[in-house]
Structure formats: structure tokens, C-alpha cells
Copies of this chain bind each other. A is one copy, B any other.
Amino acid sequence: MGRLTETLTKSLENVVGEAGLIRDSERMQSYLSDWRNAYRGEAALVVRPASTAEVAEVVRLCAQAGIALVPQGGNTGLCGGSIPDASGDQVVLSLTRMTQIRQVDPGNETITVEAGVILQRLQEAAAEAGRLFPLSLGAEGSCTVGGNLATNAGGTAVLRYGNMRDLTLGVEVVLPDGRIWNGLRGLRKDNTGYDLKQLFIGSEGTLGIITAAVLKLYPAVRSRTTAWVALPSTQAAVDLIGRMRGLCGDRLTGFELMSRQSVEFVLRHVAGCNDPFAEVHPWYVLIELSDTLLDAPLNEMLENGLGEAFEQGEALDAVVAGNETQVAALWKMREGISEAQNHEGPSLKHDISVPVSSIPAFIETADQQLQAAFPGVRIVAYGHVGDGNLHYNISKPVGSEDAPFKAQAEAIMHVIYDVTRAFAGSISAEHGLGQAKREAARRYKDPLDLELMRTLKQALDPAGLMNPGKLL
């Protein structure tokens, strides 16, 4: 790998202007660590191009000099994928000045945006056009479209609308040699060869830099209903989602599972949360139905489904939110879990997925093995049942110290990932690999998967200058 020279720095400044270059160590800091401060690196320079042509020229100049590039969006990732290494030789390429909404095309149900557009701004632009852009996740106020594409972001609407990949019709990419690949097509059908955009989506900046995308829009939602349901088991959750989906089809837009342990932490630590039920139950789901129709009979549909579920013993108790305040209160319980867990000491987070039908056996097996090996650990299991995606997080036993628990982190992770593998699951459902899970991927992925990935990396980025040390 090369090192940045004064001449190259001057050339880069000629491309992006003074406003696009950050050399000052103090001003660089926010680009060198993620929002949680979990990962930290050094950089020779931060470059902030304002157009695709500028990105292309920056990449071309760095490629010529053999300088490694780290593309960066809103810096909200959980796996350190956008943080440079410790060498100080890498250049951070921030896309945050590329904030144009290039086109809204209601007739084609598409919106074309640049990589630096904040997700929430994209959602608002869709709403202004009377449409919905469905991707929704905790960081939406600061994460960027480019990061969403690079990590194939998930979130709470995947059950109905799919991951970021499913929402994307076309992308514009600056290739590792600085050429611009124009895959910015707004077509729903195109069978003229390999679907190249799929390579770049989810590749975490290791094959090129996505600078813009054509994304799908959906009809606005005009009715919504939300329920909180107590269940006897995780099998009941799998049965109930099948029942509700069969009955309601795509009106089922949310189905979030929470263990009693998760809810207990929320009740203990999040102000204003109250258990909707007098009795304690082992599992809960939050169900959301929505419709494009005004005044769609969603409550009736929900009550029909729940009525059947009570008869079958799948549901033990239920409340349906009567107004927006109650809806917000129920979602607050779901969304408060992660924060609540932090009050109980270090939280070991695992973002896994298995086939939906394997969720009950996965949880039973993982719970047993963990309790056998690490008696007393508290398991905070929750997640998106319809996606098979569980946030299977672990807190220390009551009364124990942080340090010895943290020292067990890797051993605990291996137990969980071993069980995940046994159920043909994934060790990163929606957070990507970044630098955090690179080693784990080497251990848990099929060697042939890794070989094919390396073959593609070698073919498209033979010099290895695109976000080295991430993913692979």
C-alpha cells in the first residue's frame, strides 16, 4: 500500500476544493470512530467529494498512488465497517456532501437519491410525494442511503417490504479504478445479463463506492392497528404469525417477539412503561396491521385472528391499542429493550437469523447450552419473527462482576454461533460483518463461500484498495 504525499494531497484538494478536505487532526476525530466509540482508527486524510465526478477522480488518484480508501456514510454501523485501521495510511472518503435527491418519479414509483442523503430525509421526500419509503431503523435520523446500501440494511419493516436490496432498482458505482459504472436504472424487469448491482449492495464498500441509487416507492399507509399479545411459547409465536399472515396477507407489517426477561428489563428501567397484563407471561408479541385504505377494518381482522388463536391456545391475553398514544406506548416497550439492557451491566449482542420454523428449537437449544456452560446468565431474546431474525443478547448473572463476564464474551458467542450454524442460520442477519465479525465469518462460513467471495474481490479490486480489512 502507498502513503499519502504532499503532491497527492494537493491534487485531491484541486478535485474537492478546500471545503472537501480535512487534514486537521481535531476536525478529523468524528470520522475516526463510530457513534458508540466501539471502533477507532487513524487516517492520513478525510476527503469529502460533492459529486460522483469528484468521487471518481478521488478514487482514480488514490488508486494510482496505491492508497487504500475507507468509504463512510453516517457512521452509525455496529460492526466498524466505516472506520479506518490504525496505520494512519488510509484515506476516509466521506459521502456526506452528496445529498441531492436527483429525481422523484411518482409514475414509475421511484426516487433517485445520492449516497449521502439521510434516511429520514428520504422518507420525508417520499411522503411529500404521497408515497412511502418503507426502510425504517433506529439510526434513521443520521444514517445515510449509501450506508444502508453498503450493509443491505434491515429494520422493522422487512417482514412486509424486504431489506434494502429488495427496495433497490439501480445503483451508480465508482469502481476501484475510478471509472463510473452507470447502473442507475429504474427498471423492474431487465434480463440482459448478470445483475451487477447485486454485487455492490451489501458489499460494505469492498468492491466499489455506491454514489447514488434508484429506489422503489410504495403506496402511503392510511390505516394501522397495533396489539400486544401474551403467548405461552415461541412455538405459539411461529403458529400465530402463520395464522395472521394467512388471514391478513400483506396487511401484517409488524410481528415483534419479546421474552419476559426483555420486557422485565424495560419495565424496570424505562420510565413510563407499564405491563399491560396483571399476570406474568413467558413471551409477548407486538402485532401491527396496516393498509392503504382509509378506515380499513383492521381491528375486526385482528380480533378474528386473535379469537382463533385463543381457541388454539396460541395466545393467552391481548390488548389492542385504542389510540395513537397507546400505540406509541406499546412500541416504546419494544424499542426500549436495548437501552434497558445497558442498565444491567455489559450486554453481549448477537444478531442472528434462522429459518422462522427453527426459532423455537434454536432458542431452546441455545438457552440450555448457555445455562449449562455459564450458569445464571440472563438471556434477552427478542426480534423480528417473520424474518427469522433474533437479537439474542446476554447479560451477566445477578450480583456478578462485569470483568469476568466480559472475559467470557467470546466463549458465549461461540456457543450461540455454533447453535446458529446447527440450524443453518446466519451469524449476522442485518448488521453486516465490518471488522467486528470478520474473524467469526472465517470460522462459521462455508470455506467455499469464502473462496468465492475472495475470487470476486480479486476480480473486481485486484489491488485490494477498497475498504481493506473489512468483510473478508
Contact = CB atoms under 8 A, between A and B. Distances in A.
Contacts of A152: 191, 195
B110 A188 contact: no
A196 interface: yes
Given A293-B301, A441-B193, A452-B181, A107 B238 contact: yes
A189 B388 contact: yes
A189 to B, nearest CB: 4
A370 to B, nearest CB: 22
Interface centre among A220, A355, A386 (most CB of B within 10 A): A355
Given A192-B437, A192-B441, A193-B449, A388 B158 contact: no
A353 B191 CA distance: 10
B108 A456 contact: no
A102 interface: no
A253 B201 CA distance: 28
A36 B284 CA distance: 57
Given A158-B188, A186-B355, A189-B158, A108 B388 contact: yes
Given A108-B357, A455-B460, A219 B245 contact: yes
A193 B450 CA distance: 9
A193 B445 contact: yes
A107 B152 CA distance: 25
A49 B150 CA distance: 40
Contact of A452 (B196, B354, B431): B196
A144 to B, nearest CB: 17
Interface stretch (A113-121, A264-272, A421-429): A421-429
A455 B208 CA distance: 15
A14 to B, nearest CB: 26
Contact of A356 (B109, B179, B355): B109
A355 B191 contact: no
Interface string A176-214: 000101110111111111111011011100010000000
Interface in A416-467: 424-433, 437, 441, 444-446, 448-450, 452-453, 455-456, 458-460
A234 to B, nearest CB: 11
Number of identical protomers: 2
B357 A182 contact: no
Contacts of A472: 193
A471 B428 contact: no
Nearest to A170: B424
A355 B103 CA distance: 13
B189 A355 contact: no
A459 B449 contact: no
A61 B160 CA distance: 45
A248 interface: yes
A165 interface: yes
A449 B425 CA distance: 34
A190 to B, nearest CB: 4
Contacts of A203: 194
A415 interface: no
A195 B456 CA distance: 11
A166 interface: yes
A389 B189 contact: yes
A322 interface: no
Contacts of A471: 193
A433 B191 contact: yes
A242 interface: yes
23 contacts: A105-B355, A106-B242, A107-B238, A107-B357, A130-B246, A152-B195, A165-B195, A185-B424, A188-B386, A189-B426, A190-B429, A191-B429, A191-B433, A196-B449, A196-B452, A219-B245, A219-B249, A246-B292, A249-B250, A250-B250, A293-B301, A452-B460, A456-B456
Q: Which 5 A-B pairs have the closest CB atoms?
A: A107-B357, A249-B292, A198-B198, A459-B459, A190-B426
Given A179-B448, A185-B424, 14 more contacts: A107-B239, A107-B355, A186-B424, A188-B389, A191-B432, A192-B444, A194-B207, A198-B198, A249-B293, A293-B301, A455-B459, A456-B456, A456-B459, A458-B459
